[in-house]
Structure 1
Amino acid sequence: MTTLEGRPNTALLVIDVQNQVVADAWDRDGVIGRINTLVDRARGENVPVIWVQHSDDQMARDSDGWQLVPELTLADTEPVVHKRYGDSFEDTDLETLLAERQVGRLVVAGAQTDACIRSTLHGAAVRGYDTTLVGDAHTTEDLRQWGVPVSPEQVIAHTNTYWSWSDAPGRTGEVTPAAEVDFGAR
């Protein structure tokens, strides 16, 4: 159970599913399809959906690459968190948005596994949130040409394995396939 008092709710956090970020991502279409299914389920269960968009010197805000992929559609009531660092909490209004919605548990999906997904998972745990990583709804690109010694599938599998063992006093980390995500409060 979260260590955050008065935060019984769960939110779906969709991180950086942007044109440039997922252009060469492993299983791009499958991951986006599963994220769409999660978004539809969350909306149907009145679970907040919060979108995150990254920008930096290589991906300028409002550029084509910065846009969320066209396969995903935001509802008018769903907030978008704009970030410049890997951790979606760092120098953003994410914590305020979650507090307003009494969220103590995050269901996390998106990109990139080895960067913003990992950073946000750790940032959430440190801040007191329970976190569920959707094991088949996050992705990354093949970075071996830049010295990463493993394939995208191995990066994803490694992250799923170590996050399934993550916990801290009063907090849990788990990995669940999209089809088995339970948005109910814990």
Structure 2
Amino acid sequence: MVTSKEVLDNAKSKMQKTTEALKHDLGGIRAGRANPSLLSGVTVDYYGATTPLNQIAAITVPEARVIMVSPYDKSALNNIEKGILEADLGINPANDGDKIRMVIPQLTEERRSEVSKKVKATGESNKVAIRNVRREAMDAVKKGNKSDDFNDDEAHRLEDQVQQLTDKEIKHVDQIVSDKENEVMNG
């Protein structure tokens, strides 16, 4: 027996996770401004264990276009530099023996356009994922209607609620993508 609340809560949860994943994905896209999330995927060999950079160093943004990495353990500095280079971020780390500084280069107009297209494509794939969640929820409503979990009126009301939820999340995705495009084009 499936309740209408379960169908809606499940759809809402999955859609919100998709939106959060979009924010995370777009955070890793370089927009000409320093952002600590650019280093979120960087791992470092630390005493034989692959460790996320943010667990062994403080990552700060002292200036608009500079990221500074200050290791908690100075002996890990060379491994951190190597990890950043291996991540192939397109930014060269400068090791001063104490910290690593990375200056984010200004994006060219052509590169801004490429990044903007990537942002749009990422947004579109997230919209597809949200629509897939909608389809799953609609299928659950139809199954519930056939097995008499819901009557016809409840099923129609539930379908409307799922559609409203979908529209709201897609609008949210559009806003996130628009904000990131503005950051890229004007950064």
* TM-score with structure 1 setting the length: 0.25
State the structure with more CA Rg. Answer: 2
* TM-score with structure 2 setting the length: 0.25
Looking at secondary structure, tell me which structure has more strand per residue: 1
